[in-house]
């Protein structure tokens, strides 16, 4: 009996384990290192299959197993995931990537929760939503880092959003340390706009508690068989001179007017001796073909499931990466003497944020820290932050770095930490079982409620009328009818779904706005930030240089453009649904029936 119980506990612990057979990634100076002390270079792929319809990445475990194997065979070691739902389970996907030696960079913002560049605000709702993402992914050893924002600042007029974007960094680092999580790096992904160099300096300036741990920017300047000088990569290399944190391209892979596909000759420069002493790699846009010519593979199913077809770009990128394996320097031999950048000076023509401007941080008020030190084992067991003990509101200490040569590194795992890991696993199992029982009970209650509707219960409809379910009845009593989604809250407004704009500022719905007002995507040419015609055009960003002139503004990245196309389609479907619902309600009120 005892043996069977032991087997059950072992299986239960295995079920709640996350990725464990992979060293963690940490930062020393301007470089990434594995916890084994080897320098780490990013060979990444933007991974959000079916991004036009799938906003909850890393939830289909079976599909992740198929894709992770192919991504590993491609030669990639990192995927960037733009949108996740932290309340869902990601174990199967994260383990699939870990088993193939692949790390994950997660964007904390989503189409619903992100900083609005036009009317920037940093609210408790946003803070709590971002903290949930950290909660949901901090237990995976193959999480390389989090992006606190993507292309929020793209010209002089939107630099006013910079303090809000940096407040995200400060508050999320404070939350991470309060909860005694692994010191997972938190960075920012910038547009390659005319103000990119100021953005690069701004997110690096200040003390460690408010500055980013790494900086990425989206650049599509190297097209076809270009060169260091022609593409502007020589300038990019100069711009990174003396930069004290890791810097890399968070999106790249120009496909502009390339009839024979992308040759990816830029990889020889980025991962070769010309740039790899200052840059830590790049992320290729993108894994799945979404109708914009950037895909490495294509799926026959609209849901992007099943085994995809390998495209020519996949093979060409695979060939390039097969010859590029930079080793860099060992952490123990690396002794950086770098300093942080100064905050950019305020100017009316390019950067309107004062050097001494304070950040609108919210702090960690309302969060509960664990009472004792969190387990530092690398077993990857998901441990709850509130398991056992009395809660306190004071900031907890952070465990030491695992990088060799770091004086804070621990030489062995204490027995108490192992016991804590086992206890955490049991607590995690209990939480999972409790959640299953809760949802089963809710399911039974919903069935019973709907059964009452069908049988003419309290919410049943009179003859010839449309029945309401219990949730609709509550909405009717409250004087509101509409989809129960955050982005449709408010009267006569629609919320931006662009991950670079977010939910903070409600804007007039297109059907209620006059020409040239409301969403700038629907404005007349020259009146909005992004004319509708630009959504159909190829994207090509011009590289910037310190002191050199460039285009007056930056077009959004292909990912942002795809999100806007999704929003337009969604708005059209919502308009049709609302018209149909209005007709039904009018008939029920006597407009078309008795």
Q: Which residue has the tokens 């004290």?
A: 244
User: How many CB atoms neighbour CB 88 within 10 A?
Assistant: 11
Non-local CB neighbours of 387 within 8 Å, separated by 6+ positions: 370, 423, 424, 427
Helix 470-477 with 415-454: angle, nearest 10 deg: 80
Q: How far apart are CA 535 and CA 558, in angstroms?
A: 9
In the chain, DSSP finds a helix count (H) and a strand count (E) of 13, 15
SS3 506: strand
What are the structure tokens assigned to 249, written together? 């391209």
Query: What is the edge-to-edge ordering of all strands in the sheet holding 39-40?
Result: 25-28, 31-34, 39-40
How far lies 107's CA from each of 80, 150, 159, 335, in Å?
A: 8, 8, 21, 30
> How distant, in Å, are the alpha carbons of 36, 263, 336, 545, 546 from that of 276?
20, 20, 16, 19, 20
- Length in residues, the chain: 594
The alpha helices in 402-547, defined as continuous H runs, are 415-454, 470-477
Contact indicator for 109, 150 with CB cutoff of 8 Å? yes
Whole-number Å distance between alpha carbons of 507 and 517: 9
Look-up of token digits 């449709």:
488
Pair 535, 564: CB distance under 8 Å: yes
Contact partners, residue 196, CB within 8 Å, separation at least 6: 190, 217, 544
Residue 324: half-sphere exposure toward Cβ, Cα within 13 Å: 29
Residues involved in catalysis = 151, 251
Measured between alpha carbons, how far is 542 from 231 in angstroms, rounded to an integer? 9
């Amino acid at each position: 009996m005892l043996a069977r119980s032991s087997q059950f506990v072992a299986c239960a612990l295995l079920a709640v384990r996350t990725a464990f057979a992979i060293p963690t990634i940490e930062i020393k100076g301007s470089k990434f290192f594995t916890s084994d002390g080897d320098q780490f270079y990013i060979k990444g792929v933007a991974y959000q299959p079916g991004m036009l319809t799938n906003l909850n990445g890393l939830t289909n475990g079976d599909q992740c197993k198929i894709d992770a194997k192919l991504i590993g065979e491609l030669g990639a070691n990192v995927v960037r995931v733009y949108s996740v739902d932290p309340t869902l389970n990601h174990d199967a996907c994260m383990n699939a990537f870990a088993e193939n030696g692949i790390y994950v960079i997660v964007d904390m913002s989503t189409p619903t929760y992100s900083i609005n560049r036009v009317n920037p605000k940093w609210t408790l709702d946003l803070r709590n939503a971002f903290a949930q993402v950290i909660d949901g992914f901090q237990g995976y050893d193959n999480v390389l880092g989090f992006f606190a924002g993507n292309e929020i600042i793209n010209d002089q007029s939107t630099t006013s959003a910079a303090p809000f974007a940096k407040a995200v960094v400060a508050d999320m680092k404070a939350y991470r340390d309060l909860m005694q999580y692994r010191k997972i790096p938190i960075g920012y992904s910038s547009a390659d706009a005319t103000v990119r160099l100021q953005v690069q300096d701004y997110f690096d300036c200040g003390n460690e508690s408010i500055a980013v741990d790494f900086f990425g920017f989206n650049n599509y300047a190297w097209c076809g068989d270009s060169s260091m000088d022609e593409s502007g990569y020589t300038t990019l290399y100069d711009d990174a001179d003396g930069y004290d944190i890791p810097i890399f391209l968070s999106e790249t892979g120009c496909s502009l007017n390339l009839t024979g596909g992308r040759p990816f000759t830029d990889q020889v420069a980025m991962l070769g001796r010309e740039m790899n002493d200052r840059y830590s790699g790049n992320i290729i846009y993108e894994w799945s073909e979404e109708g914009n010519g950037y895909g490495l593979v294509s799926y026959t199913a609209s849901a992007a499931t099943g085994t995809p077809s390998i495209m020519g770009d996949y093979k060409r990128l695979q060939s390039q990466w097969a010859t590029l394996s930079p080793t860099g320097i060992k952490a123990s031999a690396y002794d950086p003497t770098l300093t942080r950048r100064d905050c950019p000076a305020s100017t009316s023509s390019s950067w309107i944020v004062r050097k001494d401007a304070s950040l609108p941080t919210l702090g960690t008020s309302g969060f509960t820290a664990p009472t004792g030190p969190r387990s530092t084992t690398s077993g990857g067991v998901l441990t709850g932050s509130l398991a056992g003990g009395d809660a306190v509101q004071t900031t907890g200490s952070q465990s030491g770095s695992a990088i060799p040569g770091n004086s804070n590194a621990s030489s062995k795992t204490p027995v108490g930490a192992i016991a804590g890991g086992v206890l955490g696993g049991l607590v995690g199992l209990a939480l999972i079982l409790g959640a299953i029982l809760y949802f089963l009970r809710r399911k039974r209650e919903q069935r019973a409620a709907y059964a009452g509707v069908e049988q003419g219960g309290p919410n049943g409809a009179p003859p010839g009328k449309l029945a309401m379910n219990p949730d609709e009845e509550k909405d009717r009593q409250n004087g509101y009818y509409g989809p129960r989604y955050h982005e449709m809250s408010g009267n006569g407004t629609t919320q931006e779904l662009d991950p670079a704009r977010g939910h903070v500022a409600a804007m007039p719905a297109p059907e209620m706005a006059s020409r040239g007002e409301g969403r700038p995507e629907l404005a007349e040419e020259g009146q909005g930030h992004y004319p509708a015609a630009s959504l159909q055009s190829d994207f090509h960003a011009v590289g910037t240089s310190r002191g050199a002139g460039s285009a007056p503004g930056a077009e959004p990245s292909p990912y942002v453009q795809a999100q806007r196309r999704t929003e337009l389609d969604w708005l059209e479907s919502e308009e049709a649904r609302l018209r149909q619902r209005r007709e039904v309600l009018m008939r029920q009120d006597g407009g078309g029936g008795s």
